Structure 1
């Protein structure tokens, strides 16, 4: 084996509808159609796997823009017998390539072999199924490691498999299917791969009960096209799982065709550990940093996935916990009597809120309350950050840098200090919007920028 496969396949200019798509439509529908207008960032490609082994279905034309290569041979814990050949072919033709792997419900033997080993404690059947899903993902990762190939992204193929069916008669069975998929996604994330889901509406609903993973990219399958624009329309229609559609696929029985969606060329993306935070979205780096530092671990959903709820306002109690953890979770014994009239020692995050009070970061409202379940507004957030930074010496400007903040406004000094540090420069229209609540994604960004100060 040479070193050439230790890097990703080289980039290649994107193709337009002329050629590939026109041929695809003729083959799929038996029609001669005028070429549709090309979109500059849309790429057209194929996916290949064990059916394209020698003496099987044909390989794609070599002038395609990309390929997605199957790692498995129809079931998890198997390998595409022509995987090496397919990776070599993509590299030799200068084609960008990603990978995909099948998810399957385990046999009893697979549950015995893998259920007790993995990141979950194996204390329940749910945990054991998650561990098997993790093992399925690691089997795919092992294939990649053996080849020395890093595709950047591994898609998870979730569809009915007659050779090893997904149990789907009851809602409890469909929840168990989700456990397996959860484990597989975690294995890919832990191994540093971007990940997404390949499926179609009926299959996804049958297997998972319409599970919503709003942050996980979708590779949407159309099958044989019912009308010429069906594949393109998949890009803008609601997906089977609620996630953003990155790639749309269709087939003519010989070839599986693909096009990229959303104005993005074919390429790698970074997936969040949080299944409600999509790749290529603002503040992804900051949210992942927040989680990696243990400042916010989000919510654990019934399937075992994590959610961050990025576009939900952050409440004042959770904000106290964020600041306390950002400070390194210092040793602190909270008082037996609460400093706030609406907070007791039994209130969640009591120690963190009391610490905020004792540090002078949050003194509460004039009536003695803290209002833990109210959202944090953007002006108060500036004040908390200024005090957390030990109220540094700062002279506020004589003219407000924000169109909606006056020099006489409460927290004017803190707001302008925040701007001077680059933690928050306001909105493109020149406003700061001091009375609006802080969303959880923006809070991650503010803390990320505050941390070095």
Structure 2
């Protein structure tokens, strides 16, 4: 018997057997994307049609500033929850969050004057905040902004999300890099206090301008890095081999721009 005829007979026999047993041929799983690609969105994408069939999504909590709320946060979280078709395609969370960061000092619309915030006396590694433009108050500012992001922006179950700290020169920063690091350490301390995981988004250049060299004793050391700056998917893949932003950090994600949207590649 020819091989093709044998295959036809076997296929027919299988179908008959399944019909008798009340079963049906197994449906093949949908193909996964060739590359574990996700997207990040925030207020600039409000009202825009967003792509589907992604491996993961990262949603911005703020409206471009550390003290503001993304007006489309709820809608974009709903979109992200519905559109991710391949949640097991990467080690990245299906949906993560990112927050704008800043250290405006006394020029900000609010600046802490103590180690007390929202009913909690914060254990401050830089001493007592007394309203000055120093590391102690920068730490409290970061802690307070992280608290606001988790509690006041409308995020349900904030402890269940991965939180990325978006560190860019476009926001307000002090020339004192140690104070800027203290600010980011305060944010990290709050998110970790609720059991959430934290990472850092930036470029090597911007991170160097804002935070400088991070000591190994800092709670920023070892946090995963999300590197911006690539123009293509291949460039993003290549950037996975770059050094992380802090000591002991690995590059977990790299970003590239396509059709006016920020896409992200999950490094192996």
Verify same fold: TM over 0.5: yes
Residue 207 of structure 1 and its aligned partner are, at CA, apart by 0.4
Q: 1:258 corresponds to which residue? A: 264
Pick one of 59, 62, 81 that aligns with 2:52: 62
TM-score, normalised relative to structure 2:
0.72
Please say if residues 101 and 140 of structure 1, whose CA atoms lie closer than 8 Å, have aligned partners that are also in contact: yes
Relative distance call for 1:106 and 1:167 in structure 2 (3 A) is: closer
TM-score, normalised relative to structure 1:
0.44
Paired residue secondary structure (1:156)? strand
Pick one of 45, 51, 70 that aligns with 1:52: 45
Residue 246 of structure 1 and its aligned partner are, at CA, apart by 0.7
Please say if residues 116 and 128 of structure 1, whose CA atoms lie closer than 8 Å, have aligned partners that are also in contact: no
Q: Deviations for 1:63-122, whole angstroms, at most 9, x for unmatched residues?
A: 111110000111112111100110111123346210000111134242246765333252
Indicate whether 1:148 and 2:156 are aligned: yes
**Structure 2 Cα separation of the partners of residues 134 and 66 of structure 1:** 27
Runs of 4 or more consecutive aligned structure 1 residues displaced over 6 Å after TM superposition: none
Pair member with larger Rg: 1
Indicate whether 1:102 and 2:100 are aligned: yes
Indicate whether 1:16 and 2:34 are aligned: yes
Paired residue secondary structure (2:198)? strand
Please say if residues 116 and 122 of structure 1, whose CA atoms lie closer than 8 Å, have aligned partners that are also in contact: no
Paired residue secondary structure (1:111)? coil
Please say if residues 141 and 191 of structure 1, whose CA atoms lie closer than 8 Å, have aligned partners that are also in contact: no
Higher relative contact order (CA 8 A, sep 6+): 2
Pick one of 133, 136, 141 that aligns with 2:145: 136
Pick one of 174, 184, 193 that aligns with 1:167: 174
Paired residues, number: 214
Q: How does 1:39-438 map to 2 (within 5 A)?
A: 43-54=36-47, 58-94=48-84, 96-108=94-106, 109-112=109-112, 116-117=116-117, 118-120=122-124, 122-123=128-129, 125-143=134-152, 146-150=154-158, 151-161=160-170, 164-168=171-175, 173-211=176-214, 213-225=220-232, 229-242=234-247, 243-252=249-258, 254-262=260-268
Q: 1:376 corresponds to which residue? A: none
Relative distance call for 1:80 and 1:211 in structure 2 (3 A) is: same
Paired residue secondary structure (2:182)? helix
Please say if residues 214 and 244 of structure 1, whose CA atoms lie closer than 8 Å, have aligned partners that are also in contact: no
Relative distance call for 1:114 and 1:63 in structure 2 (3 A) is: farther
Relative distance call for 1:260 and 1:94 in structure 2 (3 A) is: closer
Structure 1: where are the runs of 5+ without partners?
1-11, 18-42, 263-453
Please say if residues 60 and 255 of structure 1, whose CA atoms lie closer than 8 Å, have aligned partners that are also in contact: no
Relative distance call for 1:235 and 1:116 in structure 2 (3 A) is: same
Please say if residues 122 and 131 of structure 1, whose CA atoms lie closer than 8 Å, have aligned partners that are also in contact: no
Q: Deviations for 1:414-453, whole angstroms, at most 9, x for unmatched residues?
A: xxxxxxxxxxxxxxxxxxxxxxxxxxxxxxxxxxxxxxxx
**Structure 2 Cα separation of the partners of residues 239 and 184 of structure 1:** 19
RMSD of aligned Cα (Å): 2.4
Residue 211 of structure 1 and its aligned partner are, at CA, apart by 2.7
**Structure 2 Cα separation of the partners of residues 115 and 223 of structure 1:** 40
Residue 214 of structure 1 and its aligned partner are, at CA, apart by 4.1
Please say if residues 103 and 156 of structure 1, whose CA atoms lie closer than 8 Å, have aligned partners that are also in contact: yes
**Structure 2 Cα separation of the partners of residues 211 and 90 of structure 1:** 33
**Structure 1 Cα separation of the partners of residues 82 and 111 of structure 2:** 39
**Structure 2 Cα separation of the partners of residues 69 and 48 of structure 1:** 5
Structure 2: where are the runs of 5+ without partners?
1-29, 86-93
Residue 149 of structure 1 and its aligned partner are, at CA, apart by 4.4
Relative distance call for 1:51 and 1:113 in structure 2 (3 A) is: farther
**Structure 1 Cα separation of the partners of residues 188 and 196 of structure 2:** 9
- Normalized per residue, the structure richer in strand is 2
